[in-house]
């Protein structure tokens, strides 16, 4: 009577689901699972109360047919839960159901009593004896249920950002898990160790009841899957772009009504390019096939071409194909979008006329933009250039060095800062005038700049003081470069129209080469730059203090 009571409760629960809520996809799928629960409990009750052994034998076999269907039903329910219901229409899923069909046929046929037989021993408490292949049917059922559980667990952990998906997968996992656990316990107590109990206990029926009550409550509360499915279908069918989705094996997973009206395909069918060629003969198929063939070697490329259709009316379609990539760049399939360009092509002529009128205005705008671009370039040059010497100014160099030193710190590459100052420049201004003094500064800056490479930077630091930035040089190379610059300036003669004799100047030089970063604990490029500049400045003043026209290298202080 326990099984019959369970059947009545399950029946009442099913009626509650039917009459209390609109029948949706999720309701219908779960109802098939619920029916398997009901038939198991009802047939177990019938087998236990039937007077004829032949009828008991038949009811037992039918109950195991319902149990086998339960495994397939759990898998169908799982694929709906994890949002992969399109897989149920594929050939792969149909192949997946073949073992269940074979098991049902085997149970009903029961050849040579390999599944179940009547017990010939009148002294035994067991009315039935399980055949030698009974375990294979049970193992198949456990495989289907285990597969459902694994899919739900994987989907649960993949839906970390989707709380609703995690909730739906969790309730399905708990429901199927209850059936799985009670089924294993039933297998142990009612089949393997039945001799110890001396009577049948409906453990699996109780588990089905608990699972059905739990899952019915949740199905009653959740209607999200159907809302999403309806919304997706409505959106796809109302947009003006055709959508065709293929899996990586070329089977059609989804398409909207616009595509359905053009091509003779069904969802789940393999996409056949030959049918498309028959449907759309007036196209350059050699070019289209060449583009599609590229996918065999480069599966992740995007494709674009045009199709000309004649039915139901002539249309020009822009076809774009994109790879659908999952996690870890794994190819999952392809999406084709079909955009109707007929109206665009019809408007092309009028647009050309309008474009001709706009072209003249565009040319004028382009000319204005070019003038603005040139003006902006000049402004940029003015902003970073010293107006007198035409080398870089101090503000630009400090900003540039902050960026460069950040790279030097990260990559531990050497660089050198040279600060030099014209000796006794005040005397030159006093003797020849400030204008001629400016000419001396200009000639000196040009001479130094001519000795530098494209990677080096020369900037006027202020007054008669200049800074040179030399990347990638060792301390010895930087010192040699400074010697060359000092000697070249000393030997350089500057001729000025208003001055009878030539003017020669000397420079005092301070050098800092950084090629050992262990002494600098700072990682802030701005602070680091200030420290290096202070060292170079100290070296310059030391050169002046010692008599000028000298080079003082402070690199040894940090090596």
DSSP one-letter string for 356-401: HHHHHHHHHHHHHHHHHHHHHHHHHHHHHB-TTT-SEEHHHHHHHH
- For residue 489, the number of C-alpha atoms closer than 13 Å in the C-beta half-sphere is 27
- Centre a 10 Å sphere on the Cβ of residue 431 and count the other Cβ atoms it contains: 12
Does residue 559 surpass a pLDDT of 50?
Answer: no
Cβ-contact 244, 335 below 8 angstroms: yes
Q: In this predicted model, which residue has the larger pLDDT, 489 or 250?
A: 489
- Segment 459-482 shows an average pLDDT of 91
Quick one: pLDDT at residue 120? 61
**pLDDT band, very low/low/confident/very high, at 339 (cuts 50, 70, 90):** confident
Start-to-end Cα distance in the chain: 95
Tokens of 13: 């629960």
Contacts of 231-240 spanning 24+ positions with Cβ under 8 A:
240/339, 240/340
Quick one: pLDDT at residue 520? 60
- Segment 311-318 shows an average pLDDT of 73
Which stretch of 47-51, 165-169, 327-331, 429-433 has the lowest confidence by average pLDDT?
327-331
Structure-derived torsion over alpha carbons of residues 110, 113, 116, 118, reported in degrees to the nearest 10: 130
Q: In this predicted model, which residue has the larger pLDDT, 158 or 438?
A: 438
Quick one: pLDDT at residue 94? 85
Residue 183 to residues 138, 207, 332, Cα–Cα distance (Å): 10, 7, 36
Q: In this predicted model, which residue has the larger pLDDT, 21 or 204?
A: 204
| Rounded Cα–Cα distance for residues 305 and 488 (Å) | 66
Cβ-contact 379, 475 below 8 angstroms: no
Most confident range (mean pLDDT) of 288-297, 357-366, 541-550 is 541-550
Does residue 429 surpass a pLDDT of 60?
Answer: yes
Residue of 422, 394, 406, 404 lying closest to 494 (CA atoms):
422
| Rounded Cα–Cα distance for residues 430 and 552 (Å) | 28
Residue of 185, 182, 174 lying closest to 149 (CA atoms):
174
Q: What percentage of the chain carries pLDDT values higher than 90?
A: 16
Q: Which residues contact 311 (CB under 8 A, 6 or more apart)?
A: none
pLDDT tens string 75-108: 888 888 887 777 777 788 888 889 888 988 988 8
pLDDT tens string 95-145: 888 988 898 898 888 888 888 887 665 545 566 777 788 888 888 888 888
Three-state DSSP at 62 gives helix
**pLDDT band, very low/low/confident/very high, at 449 (cuts 50, 70, 90):** very high
| Rounded Cα–Cα distance for residues 58 and 43 (Å) | 9
Average pLDDT, the chain: 81
- Centre a 10 Å sphere on the Cβ of residue 331 and count the other Cβ atoms it contains: 13
**pLDDT band, very low/low/confident/very high, at 457 (cuts 50, 70, 90):** very high
Count Cβ neighbours within 10 Å for each residue of 63-82 and write b for 16 or more, e otherwise. bbbbbbbbbbbbbbbbbbbb
Does residue 521 surpass a pLDDT of 80?
Answer: no
Q: In this predicted model, which residue has the larger pLDDT, 193 or 425?
A: 425
Does residue 33 surpass a pLDDT of 50?
Answer: yes
- Measured in residues, the chain has a length of 559
Q: E strand or H helix at 241, and its extent?
A: strand 241-247
| Rounded Cα–Cα distance for residues 23 and 17 (Å) | 8
Quick one: pLDDT at residue 90? 79
| Rounded Cα–Cα distance for residues 67 and 104 (Å) | 10
């Amino acid at each position: 009577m326990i099984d019959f009571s369970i059947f009545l409760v399950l029946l009442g629960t099913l009626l509650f689901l039917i009459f209390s809520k609109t029948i949706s996809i999720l309701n219908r799928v779960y109802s098939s699972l619920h029916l398997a629960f009901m038939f198991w409990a009802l047939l177990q009750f019938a087998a236990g109360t039937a007077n004829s052994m032949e009828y008991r034998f038949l009811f037992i076999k039918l109950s195991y047919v319902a149990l086998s269907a339960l495994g397939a039903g759990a898998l169908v329910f799982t694929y709906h839960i994890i949002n992969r219901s399109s897989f149920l229409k594929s050939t792969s899923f149909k192949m997946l159901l073949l073992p269940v069909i074979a098991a049902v046929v085997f149970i009903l046929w029961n050849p040579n009593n390999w599944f179940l037989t009547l017990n010939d021993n009148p002294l035994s408490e067991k009315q039935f004896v399980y055949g030698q292949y009974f375990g294979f049917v049970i193992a198949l059922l456990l495989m289907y249920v285990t597969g459902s559980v694994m899919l739900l667990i994987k989907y649960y952990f993949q839906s970390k950002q989707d709380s609703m998906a995690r909730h739906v997968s969790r309730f399905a996992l708990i429901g199927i898990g209850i059936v799985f656990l009670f089924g294993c316990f039933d297998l142990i107590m009612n089949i393997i160790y039945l001799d110890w109990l001396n009577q049948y206990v409906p453990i699996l029926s109780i588990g089905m009841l608990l699972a059905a009550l739990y899952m019915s409550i949740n199905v009653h509360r959740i209607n999200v899957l159907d809302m999403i499915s309806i919304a997706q279908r409505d959106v796809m069918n109302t947009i003006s772009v055709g959508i065709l989705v293929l899996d990586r094996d070329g089977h059609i997973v989804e398409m909207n009504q616009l595509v359905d009206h053009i091509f003779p395909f069904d969802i789940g069918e393999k996409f056949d390019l030959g049918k498309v060629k028959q449907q759309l003969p007036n196209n350059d198929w050699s070019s289209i096939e060449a583009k599609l063939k590229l996918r065999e070697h480069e599966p992740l490329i995007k494709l674009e071409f045009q199709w000309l259709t004649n039915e139901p009316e002539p249309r020009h379609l822009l076809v774009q194909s994109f790879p659908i990539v999952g996690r870890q760049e794994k190819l999952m399939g392809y999406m084709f979008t079909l955009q109707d360009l007929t109206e665009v092509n019809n408007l092309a002529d009028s647009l050309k006329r309008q474009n001709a009128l706009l072209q003249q205005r565009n040319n004028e705008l382009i000319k204005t933009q070019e003038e603005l671009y040139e003006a902006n370039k000049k402004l940029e040059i003015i902003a970073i250039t010293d107006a007198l010497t035409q080398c870089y100014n101090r503000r630009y160099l400090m900003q540039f060095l902050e960026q460069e030193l950040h790279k030097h710190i990260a990559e531990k590459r050497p660089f050198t800062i040279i600060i030099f100052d014209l000796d006794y420049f005040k005397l030159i201004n006093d003797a020849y005038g400030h204008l001629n003094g400016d000419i001396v500064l200009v000639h000196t800056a040009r001479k130094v700049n001519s000795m530098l490479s494209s990677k080096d930077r020369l900037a006027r630091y202020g007054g008669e003081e200049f800074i040179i930035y030399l990347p990638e040089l060792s301390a010895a190379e930087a010192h040699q470069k400074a010697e060359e610059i000092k000697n070249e300036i000393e030997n350089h003669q500057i001729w000025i129209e208003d001055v009878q004799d030539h003017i020669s100047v000397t420079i005092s030089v301070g050098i800092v080469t950084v090629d050992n970063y262990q002494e600098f604990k700072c990682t802030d490029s701005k602070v680091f730059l200030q420290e290096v500049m202070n060292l170079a400045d100290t070296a310059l003043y030391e050169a002046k203090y010692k008599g000028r026209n000298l080079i003082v290298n402070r690199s040894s202080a940090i090596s």
